[in-house]
A and B are shown apart, each in its own frame.
Chain A
Amino acid sequence: MLFSFRWLLLEYAVRSLFRRFGKNFFIFLILSFLIFILSSVLMIAESIKAELNATLKTLPDITLQRFVAGKQTQIPISRVDALLEIQGVGSVTPRIWGYYYFKPAGVNFSVVGLDIYEEPYSATMARLIKDVNWTQGSYDAMMIVGEGVKTILRENYYNDFFHFITPEGQTKKVGIAGVFHSDLALEANDLIVLPKRAAYEIFGMNASDATDIVLKVSANVSEIPTIVAKIIEKFPDLRVVTRDDIRVSYQNIFDYKSGFFLALFCVCAFAFFIIVYDKSNALSSEEKKEIGILKALGWDTDTVLQEKFFESFILSLGAFLFGLATALFYVYALQAPLLRAIFTGYSALKPPFDLPYTLSVSMIVLLFLLSVPVYIAATLIPAWRTSIVDADEVLR
């Protein structure tokens, strides 16, 4: 019996929504759009935050860079032995890396030199180059590339190899041994890993130098400040960058970009609350009259409010689900054109990467609470105000 009652009331509510189709459809579109914008903003922010956190985990404990006349320059590899002597230092790896500008596509590739007998300086790198056959083909050297690099090279007719141009104007033909299949899109997408020898040639560097040196700490990480102090004492021309320094730097960039999103979020939230405020203040004369008629026909206030609840719930939940589904499609299928540029603008010269799927339940709950109950309340309050007035007065 109870089911029958609710079903009839629900049916009445649905018919009521369709009776005022134009107005309700407009509200549905506005609500959906606002939820779409809010969801997209939060999804992009969550994705990039997750990406940055994942990247941070792979960073070395300490990175050493050499500065001469205020500019970064190469570090003699001969310093490795002296660094190993410092207590608490577990391993020291000189790195050869840099950016290679690929003019036809207008992008920078990150090029890293690595020898197969060398211990890779990060767990991620080890995972990335595992199972790669470095010796296949008949090229000068072989390289492994990120998905983004592979795509760009293919678009420029480099399917199996690539001709690097050295600073001396010579070409260096390097075969493509494989493609990274990493879930760390930001880290691996623009990456090229090749033997150190090839990297030295491409960058025109002396084989006794490194771009920088990375250290792993064998002792407790709380001793890192002591180790840093000892390094600076020994090599005053080195700049020491710890993982925490990089985390702060990333966080600053993220926070700065988040400001734009926060502004967008505020504008959407403000627009939504204006609609809600407007709706909560008054019903149309037609809606008021209908409540008066229903009360005159024997509906009590509870029944009227229940019907209005169904109406607003159907409309707001529909708009919420539609907005959320559209945002999912926009962010993860279309990769958030326009909005994403706000966040990733600093890496515009890098090949594009995919936003990783990081939808959280708490975010959906937050969006739901910000939209559906607020809209329902905004519908019920004026309906309640009208329904507690004598039906006779409403109908006059």
Chain B
Amino acid sequence: MIVVSNVSKIFTQAEERVQALSHVSLHVAQGECVLLKGASGSGKSTLLSLIAGLAQPTSGSIVVAGEEISKMPERLSAQMRRERIGFIFQKFHLIPYLSVQENVTTPLVPENLPLHVIAEKAKRAMERCRIAHKAHMSVHRLSGGEQQRTAIARALVHNPMIVLADEPTANLDRKLSLSLIEELRALKDEGVTLVVATHDPLFFDLDFVDQTIELHHGALRP
């Protein structure tokens, strides 16, 4: 499902080159749950962004669902995200002052779908994430947990085959974190491929995690 081959990523900031990833390779089979461990700045978020096609690697290749997303034109990688990938951000990245429902339907706006289909998909995603009762509330009035559930509903609204989660429990308390873990387990049971970047110990001994990969200064720790 996901094949990362010898990927490196170098950022240039104020004429200074920062090696975010160095010769990383990994393979994630369909329906697997992979945990990316590592301290802050180890390159976990960068790797997730590259898998989602949000950035291009400096070298190496990334194949997602049989297509090389790392070399795709921007239009096609956007389409890949719309159709197959759901991304849960560490900072939620909700659009302020839009309602929960409006945020959840945002990924569907570019699709040529009738309004009732969009409404139905949004309703299903919100119900699944137990946020449907706040559908019309503006997201900036929600608690941290509710915002996280909205972000997850948005990531799942188009029934993606891959879910990438970047530090999904970083802004949640223990109870909400456990609830989110159960949600990920349910996704895994449905056959969704999961890649979770985290350094939260709650994830380390989960029975549904198939692989744990540790990154250290942008490289895989042997």
Q: Is B one of A's binding partners?
A: yes
Chain A interface (Cβ < 8 Å from any Cβ of B) = 1-2, 4-5, 7-9, 12, 15, 19, 286, 289-290, 292-303, 388, 390-393, 395
Given A5-B111, A286-B96, A301-B75, 15 more pairs with CB closer than 8 A = A1-B112, A8-B115, A9-B110, A12-B109, A19-B97, A292-B93, A296-B93, A297-B87, A298-B82, A299-B78, A300-B110, A388-B74, A390-B55, A391-B54, A395-B93
A294, A296, A395: most-surrounded residue (chain B CB, <10 A): A296
Residues of A contacting B89 with CB < 8 Å?
A: 296, 395
**Bound Cα distance A388, B75 (Å):** 11
**Bound Cα distance A67, B80 (Å):** 91
Residues of A contacting B115 with CB < 8 Å?
A: 4, 7-8
Nearest neighbor of B50 in chain A, beta-carbon distance: A392
Partner of A294, one of B75, B106, B113: B106
Residues of B contacting A293 with CB < 8 Å?
A: 93, 95
Nearest neighbor of B111 in chain A, beta-carbon distance: A5
If the complex has contacts A19-B96, A293-B93, A390-B54, are A300 and B109 also in contact, measured as CB distance less than 8 A? Answer: no
If the complex has contacts A300-B78, A390-B56, A391-B55, are A19 and B110 also in contact, measured as CB distance less than 8 A? Answer: no
**Bound Cα distance A289, B113 (Å):** 26
19 example contacts (A-B, Cβ-Cβ < 8 A) are as follows A1-B114, A4-B112, A4-B115, A7-B115, A8-B115, A9-B109, A293-B93, A295-B54, A295-B78, A296-B52, A296-B87, A297-B81, A297-B154, A303-B78, A303-B109, A390-B49, A390-B55, A391-B54, A392-B54
Nearest neighbor of A390 in chain B, beta-carbon distance: B55
Contact, CB under 8 Å: A300 / B54: no
Q: Which 10 A-B pairs have the closest CB atoms?
A: A298-B82, A300-B78, A392-B55, A392-B49, A298-B81, A392-B54, A390-B55, A1-B112, A297-B107, A19-B97
Contact with A along B102-135 (1 / 0, CB 8 A): 1000111111111100100000000000000000
Chain B interface (Cβ < 8 Å from any Cβ of A) = 46, 49, 52, 54-56, 74-75, 78-83, 87, 89, 93, 95-98, 102, 106-115, 118, 154
Contact, CB under 8 Å: A298 / B107: yes
**Bound Cα distance A12, B118 (Å):** 14
If the complex has contacts A8-B118, A12-B109, A293-B93, are A393 and B78 also in contact, measured as CB distance less than 8 A? Answer: no
**Bound Cα distance A393, B110 (Å):** 22
If the complex has contacts A295-B78, A296-B54, A300-B79, are A8 and B109 also in contact, measured as CB distance less than 8 A? Answer: yes
Nearest neighbor of B53 in chain A, beta-carbon distance: A391
Residues of B contacting A300 with CB < 8 Å?
A: 74-75, 78-79, 110
B52, B109, B113: most-surrounded residue (chain A CB, <10 A): B109
Contact, CB under 8 Å: A4 / B93: no
Nearest CB in chain A: distance from B53 CB, A: 9
The total number of A-B Cβ pairs within 8 Å is: 83
Contact, CB under 8 Å: B107 / A302: no
**Bound Cα distance A300, B93 (Å):** 17
Residues of A contacting B74 with CB < 8 Å?
A: 300-301, 388
User: Chain A interface mostly helix, strand, loop or mixed?
Assistant: helix
**Bound Cα distance A177, B95 (Å):** 74
Residues of A contacting B49 with CB < 8 Å?
A: 390-392
Residues of B contacting A302 with CB < 8 Å?
A: 75
Nearest neighbor of A297 in chain B, beta-carbon distance: B107
Partner of A299, one of B52, B83, B110: B110
**Bound Cα distance A67, B69 (Å):** 93
Residues of A contacting B93 with CB < 8 Å?
A: 289, 292-293, 296, 395
**Bound Cα distance A298, B109 (Å):** 10
Nearest neighbor of A3 in chain B, beta-carbon distance: B112
Nearest neighbor of A301 in chain B, beta-carbon distance: B74
Residues of B contacting A388 with CB < 8 Å?
A: 74
Nearest neighbor of B115 in chain A, beta-carbon distance: A4
Contact, CB under 8 Å: B112 / A303: no
Nearest CB in chain A: distance from B23 CB, A: 20
Nearest neighbor of B82 in chain A, beta-carbon distance: A298
Contact, CB under 8 Å: B102 / A15: yes
A5, A286, A292, A298: most-surrounded residue (chain B CB, <10 A): A298
B93, B109, B110, B154: most-surrounded residue (chain A CB, <10 A): B110
**Bound Cα distance A298, B79 (Å):** 6
**Bound Cα distance A372, B106 (Å):** 28
Residues of A contacting B113 with CB < 8 Å?
A: 4
**Bound Cα distance A224, B34 (Å):** 100
Nearest neighbor of A388 in chain B, beta-carbon distance: B74
**Bound Cα distance A296, B81 (Å):** 8
Residues of A contacting B102 with CB < 8 Å?
A: 15
**Bound Cα distance A395, B106 (Å):** 17
Residues of A contacting B96 with CB < 8 Å?
A: 19, 286
Residues of A contacting B110 with CB < 8 Å?
A: 5, 9, 298-300, 303
Residues of B contacting A290 with CB < 8 Å?
A: 95
Nearest CB in chain A: distance from B28 CB, A: 19
Nearest neighbor of A8 in chain B, beta-carbon distance: B109
**Bound Cα distance A4, B109 (Å):** 9
**Bound Cα distance A9, B113 (Å):** 12
Residues of A contacting B78 with CB < 8 Å?
A: 295, 298-300, 303
Residues of B contacting A395 with CB < 8 Å?
A: 54, 89, 93
If the complex has contacts A298-B78, A299-B78, A302-B75, are A5 and B112 also in contact, measured as CB distance less than 8 A? Answer: yes
